[in-house]
Amino acid sequence: MLVHLIDLIKDRSELNRELITKQIKAYITFVIVIALIVIILWQPQDVSFARGYNFSVQRFFKLSYGVLDEAMTEVIYISASVLIISLIWFWQNRLLSLYLLSTLAVLSLFSIKYYNSWHQGVIFLVWAFVIWVSFENGNHKRLDKLSSVTKMLAIASVLLVLGFQIFWAASASISDFHGTYSGGEGLAEYIKANKLEDKKIYATSFWSTTVLPYFDKNIFANRNNGEKPAFWFWRLNNRTTENIEAILKDRPDLIIIGRPGNLRGLQGYEFIDIFEGNLYWKNRIKEQNHFALFRKKEVMNDE
């Protein structure tokens, strides 16, 4: 929008009053929408996730280096070559400012606030959008004599990047089809099969929330005191007992540990099983969000 505004100001003498009025109305609407989004997303004081802001220049450059590579090919010399060719091609097509301003704005947001791997797609889509516009823009090229060469290089770059992207998409899809994204369903089936939903159940971490959609009520006694609502509160006081020592002191019938690592034993409890959950990313597993289930020995003996 900023780039469009700059172009609008430069070309205002060539535009009629009606078109300028429509553009102004569109910008006013855009600003209002952005203001409403900011109000919606403005964090409360007691939020527990992605707190604060980071204005470190060093962080910005380090993060940008990684994100630009990961959004393209994850092979640094290939990604760098693609970006250099793209920058030259964008410059020739008078689209360099559109790409740079859009990309820098997104990278700044990542650096200042929060970033995770799946946000790479935004950077890729910005690049893909400007590439698309560049092939629609047949006029006003710089160094027109070289445009055929840079166009071939740009097309080759696009095909190369798409090759990586298609491979990653296929790999992640196959892994998702054959693997288990969340252990929530398997754990819920175990609880139902053994008629344990009315027992005193404690669960740790927000990942355990994936168990709850399979029940008609909040079955976790340490999550909002077992009452509604059953979602995870992203705030400092989130109505959940997470401390293992405090949980063991309360002696619940079942304990669900999210992301247990190598934990396989709790005093007074029988280890039942690991319910696997994997976040498949590109051609690998990015996160293992497993659940470890522990059952109180007295409950085991009663049966």
Rounded to 10 degrees, what is the CA torsion of 157, 159, 160, 164? 140
Q: What is the per-residue pLDDT for 147?
A: 79
Rounded to 10 degrees, what is the CA torsion of 128, 131, 133, 135? -140
Mean pLDDT over all residues of the chain?
A: 92
Gap between the Cα atoms of 99 and 128, Å rounded: 10
Q: What is the per-residue pLDDT for 140?
A: 60
- DSSP summary character for residue 200: -
Q: What are phi and psi of 113, to 5 degrees?
A: -115, -75
Convert the pLDDT of each residue in 221-234 to its tens digit: 999 888 988 889 88
Convert the pLDDT of each residue in 248-286 to its tens digit: 999 999 999 999 999 999 999 999 999 999 999 999 999
Nearest CA among 252, 256, 251 for reference residue 274: 256
Tokens of 154: 């740009």
How many other β-carbons are positioned within 10 Å of the β-carbon of residue 34? Answer: 11
Burial class (CB in 10 A: 0-12, 13-18, 19+), 25: exposed
Gap between the Cα atoms of 152 and 89, Å rounded: 10
Strand-pair partners of 293: 256, 273
In sequence order, the 6+-apart residues with CB closer than 8 A to the CB of 268 are 248, 251, 296, 297
Q: Residue 281, Cα to own-chain centre: how many angstroms?
A: 11
Convert the pLDDT of each residue in 184-200 to its tens digit: 999 999 999 999 999 99
Convert the pLDDT of each residue in 112-147 to its tens digit: 999 999 999 999 999 999 999 999 876 667 777 677
Q: What is the per-residue pLDDT for 90?
A: 95
User: 120-142 as b/e, with b when 16 or more CB fall inside 10 Å?
Assistant: bebbbebbeebbeebeeeeeebe
The region that residue 103 occupies, defined by phi over 0 for left and psi between -120 and 50 for alpha, beta otherwise, is alpha
pLDDT band for position 18 (cuts 50, 70, 90):
confident
Q: What are phi and psi of 221, to 5 degrees?
A: -70, -25
Q: What are phi and psi of 274, to 5 degrees?
A: -105, 125
Share of the chain above pLDDT 90, in %: 72
Q: What is the per-residue pLDDT for 52?
A: 87
Convert the pLDDT of each residue in 139-181 to its tens digit: 667 777 677 899 999 999 999 999 999 999 999 999 999 999 9
Residues counted in the chain: 303
Q: What are phi and psi of 43, to 5 degrees?
A: -80, 135
Gap between the Cα atoms of 299 and 233, Å rounded: 30
pLDDT band for position 301 (cuts 50, 70, 90):
low
Tokens of 237: 């006081």
Q: What is the per-residue pLDDT for 156?
A: 98
Gap between the Cα atoms of 240 and 232, Å rounded: 9
Gap between the Cα atoms of 63 and 193, Å rounded: 47
Contact 247, 241 (CB under 8 A): yes
Gap between the Cα atoms of 62 and 271, Å rounded: 42
